Amino acid sequence: MKQQLEQIRSAAIAEIQAADTSLEEIRIKYLGKKGELTAILRGMGSLSAEERPVIGAVANEVRNCIESALEKRGAELKKIALANSLAAEKLDVTYDAIAPKAGHIHPITRAMERMTEIFIDMGFSVAEGPEVETVYNNFDALNAPADHPSRDFQDTFYITENTLLRTQTSPVQIRAMRNATPPIRIISPGRVYRSDVADASHSPMFHQLEGLVVDKGITMGDLKGILSQFAKTMFGPETKTRFRPHNFPFTEPSAEVDVSCFVCGGKGCRLCKGEGWMEILGSGMVHPEVLRAGGIDPDVYTGFAFGMGVERVAMVMSGIDDLRLMYENDARFLKQF
Ligand code: DAH
């Protein structure tokens, strides 16, 4: 029996030392209720009174020995598992990170910021006005009479009888004149709305940049000087400007302004559609009635004003020929700029 016990001990120890996962099975196999050691202890009843304490002592020693081997190996296995998981889950902080996908400034915003910057450098400050405007500021104060076609429901989004989504940034002129005494030198970039069906050159919402200068002795020469300088800074020093007579209710005289095509220099190309010139804005000397509506005496002061299409400038700068592309927000398109 003693020999049997010794065999159990060495077999158990060998198994325990070789185990690399759970030790529970081994424990049950030897020390469990139906285990090998337990079976031997049960058979002790058949031993003589002298043998029983001797074998009992050996059996106890074998049990202790197996238990401590289990404990020791258990601790080792825990350490190994920890080391393995530390190795497997290691974070290499020197590894190149995956760069987050950053967007960039929209071509319209970029054009607007650049235009604003150029006028700020020439001494203008930025004035703001609401997109929901009074009919009075948007039309009447700007000398657009009640029968002016742009006032039609077909062309303008009315909110109420007296308020609308502004159709132009020009009402900011009225607000600026009422808020300050000359000299006034402001620009006002922002959104405007017209009841147009979207196509390659129309959108129910677009952007304008308004400008207004009012002081004593302002002439058409100042208008031409400022706008020519703007065109050179914006499109390049070789850029020429062309002032074509036009008609706006709020200016007299009025002019539309073209810039020479910065791609072909005026010879005619795809970008300028063979014209050599590209129209970018409307302008003129502020009408005396408009000065009056702004609370300014037209016998003392004169001024000039202009309104540019921001989309037009952005499209010209980036060679984009369909306005709708600007608003579809397709990242594949926007990424190109
Ligand atoms: N408001 C005009 C438009 O939307 C543009 C414009 C023309 C603005 C002449 C002006 C100006 O200030 O003087 O077509």
| pTM greater than 0.85 | no
Tell me: pLDDT of 150 over 90.
no
In the chain, which residue ranges form alpha helices assigned H by DSSP? Answer: 2-18, 24-31, 36-42, 51-88, 107-121, 135-138, 171-179, 220-235, 288-293, 310-318, 325-328, 331-334
Ligand 1 mean position, distance from CA 14 (Å)? 97
pLDDT digits (tens, 9 = 90+) for 26-78: 888 888 888 887 877 777 778 887 887 888 788 788 888 888 888 888 888 88
Q: Could you tell me if the CB of 171 is within 6 A of ligand 1?
A: no
Lowest mean pLDDT among 64-73, 137-146, 184-193, 199-208: 64-73
Q: Is the CB of 282 under 6 A from ligand 1?
A: yes
Q: Distance (Å, rounded) from C-alpha 159 to C-alpha 165?
A: 7
Question: Which DSSP string do the residues of 231-274 spell out, in sequence order?
Answer: HHHHH-TT--EEEEEEEETTEEEEEEEEEE-TTTTTS--TTTTT
Which residues, in sequence order, are bridge partners of residue 209?
189, 308
- Give the pLDDT confidence score for residue 225 in this predicted structure: 98
DSSP state of 43: G
Q: What is the pLDDT of residue 19?
A: 82
Q: Which residue has the higher pLDDT, 176 or 70?
A: 176
In the chain, pLDDT over 70 holds for what percent of residues? 100
CB count, 10 Å around CB of 228?
16
Ligand 1 atom at shortest distance from the alpha carbon of 192: 4
Q: Mean pLDDT throughout 102-120? A: 94
Mean pLDDT calculated for residue range 305-327: 90
Helix or strand run (H / E) with residue 309: strand 302-309
Bigger pLDDT: 130 or 73?
130
Residue 30: per-residue pLDDT: 82
pLDDT at 20: 82
Q: Whose CA is nearest to atom 3 of ligand 1?
A: 168
Best residue among 170, 226, 279, 290 to mutate for probing ligand 1's pocket (most ligand atoms within 8 Å of CB) is: 170
Yes or no: say if 288 and 298 are a contact pair by the CB < 8 Å rule.
yes
Least confident of 113-117, 178-182, 312-316: 312-316
Task: Copy the structure tokens of residue 33.
Answer: 């209720």
Instruction: Quote the mean pLDDT of the chain.
Output: 90
Going by pLDDT thresholds of 50, 70 and 90, the confidence category of residue 273 is: confident
pLDDT for residue 244: 98
- 201 SS3 class: coil
4-8, 20-24, 26-30, 254-258: which has the highest mean pLDDT? Answer: 254-258
Q: Model confidence at 15, in pLDDT bands (50, 70, 90)?
A: confident
Confidence tier at 124 by pLDDT (50, 70, 90): very high
Distance CA 286, CA 254 (A): 9
Average of pLDDT values for 153-168?
94
d(CA 177, CA 174): 5
The answer, yes or no, to whether any atom of ligand 1 lies below 6 A from the CB of 307, is yes
> What percentage of the chain exceeds 90 in pLDDT?
55
pLDDT recorded at residue 331: 86
Q: Is the CB of 306 under 6 A from ligand 1?
A: yes
